[in-house]
Chains A and B, each alone.
Chain A
Amino acid sequence: MHSYIDLLTVGASVGGLRWPDMLVQLFFFIVLLALVKKFAWGPLMNKMEEREQYVANEIEEAEKSRADAEKASKDAAEQLNQVRAEAQKMIEDAKSAGIKQEEQIIESARKEAERIKEAAQADIQNEKERAIQALQDKVASLSVLIASKVIEKELSEQDQEKLINEYIKEVGEER
């Protein structure tokens, strides 16, 4: 209890307006403020501001490059589509050209065949006619010859037959 009362008196003595204390405190505080402002807070705040700037720049740059990339990819997609369409068109063109050519070839082949066939038929006809003509001529002359021979020799029926056969054979061989 005694010490407690002592303490209270110490507490009372703590008060009192000691202005030199104030001046000392003010002096130290202001000096401290000036020093740490110059050596600690100044550089620290500068650095933080610099970093803020840097981060802002980086973000801006990143956004810019992202936009660029987006644009590029869009361009690429567009180009790809264009190329694809072109390729499709080329294929279709080629297909239709192929079909057309095929038809042409078939058509011309058919025509050629037709022509060849007609020519062959004409040849055959010609030849046949010529052969018939030749045969007719031969038969006529032969019959005249046979008739004259028959008449000349007054051949027996047997001989006549033999002669005719002979001539006919002759004609056949000649042919």
Chain B
Amino acid sequence: MDHDNPIVHDIFGIPGADLNLSNLLMTFIVSLIVFVFCVWGSRKLQMKPKGMQNFMEWAVEFVRGIIKDNMDWKTGRVFLPLGLTLIFYILVSNLIGVATVGTVGHTLWWKSPTADAVMTLTLSAMIIVLTHYYGIKVQGTKAYFKTYVSPVPLMLPFKIVEEFTNTLTLGLRLFGNIYAGEILLGLLVGLATSSIFGFFGAAIPMLAWQGFSVFIGGIQSYVFVMLTMVYMSHKVSSDH
């Protein structure tokens, strides 16, 4: 189980610039899958939807429902592509490590990109930055800064801390769930490959855990998008 990550240290000679090639590969593959799937799903659009178009429209309706739960549709509609892309990206990222974990030698190449805290925190940080951007854009600079000192100026430190905790919880929740799933899967695989008894002992728990991981992957992608929209609505809705 001593898997290494294919890390390239100090790329372009910049000290501290370490790149995990596995992440590079997997984000590219996930992006490719999402892109191909979505474009394939939404080609040949018709008034009377059939097959894939139904599914894609269901997904659109689903994310639209998440957004509508948190803010009014007029301000929320610009977040629909973001929410849709996020939910597909995270879902595919989560599931890609459930089915298969690929290693070359002792190097872990194929895994969920979301099983890496750096990746999930990048996503969550991006979301938080976007909430601030849209907060300023929708509410105006003055109203945006006013939210930090309302209802009382005493709230200012808490509000600032909240942004960091939001970033951390949003990213680490996803990471923790997926990483835990992959660790347990790794353990089960280790058990299954250790002996013939281990194989039969591990087969059924592995099946159950893979099913559960698929479930977790779906739930976590939903939760991520849900929380994205919650944070977004905090920033863009004036009544909060």
Question: Which A residues contact B (CB, under 8 angstroms)?
Answer: 3-4, 6-7, 10-11, 13-22, 24-26, 28-29, 31-33, 35-37, 39-45, 47-48, 50-51, 54
Contacts and interface: CB of A to CB of B under 8 A. Distances in A.
Contacts of B7: 18
Nearest to A5: B1
Contacts of A11: 179, 183
B60 interface: yes
Contacts of B85: 29, 32-33, 36-37, 41
Interface stretch (B112-120, B145-153, B218-226): B112-120
Contacts of A24: 19, 23-24, 27
Contact of B118 (A10, A16, A32, A43): A16
Interface stretch (B76-84, B157-165, B200-208, B230-238): B76-84
Interface stretch (B38-46, B67-75, B132-140, B209-217): B38-46
B122 A21 contact: yes
B123 A41 contact: no
Interface in B191-205: none
B89 interface: yes
Interface of B: 1-3, 5, 7, 11, 16-20, 23-24, 27-28, 30-31, 34-35, 38-39, 41-42, 45-47, 53, 56-57, 60, 80-82, 84-85, 88-89, 113, 115-119, 121-123, 125-126, 179, 183, 186-187, 190
Contact of B38 (A16, A25, A40): A40
B60 A39 contact: no
A29 B122 CA distance: 10
Given A31-B31, A36-B85, A41-B80, A6 B1 contact: yes
Contact of B56 (A10, A18, A44): A44
Chain B's interface: helix, strand, loop or mixed, by majority? helix
A40 B80 CA distance: 12
B47 A10 contact: no
A35 to B, nearest CB: 6
Nearest to A39: B39
Contacts of A54: 47
Contacts of B18: 16, 18, 20-21
Contact of A35 (B16, B35, B45, B122): B35
6 contacts: A10-B2, A14-B115, A24-B19, A25-B122, A33-B81, A39-B35
Given A36-B88, A43-B45, 16 more contacts: A7-B1, A11-B183, A14-B179, A15-B117, A18-B7, A28-B28, A32-B34, A32-B89, A33-B81, A36-B35, A36-B38, A39-B35, A39-B42, A41-B60, A44-B56, A48-B57
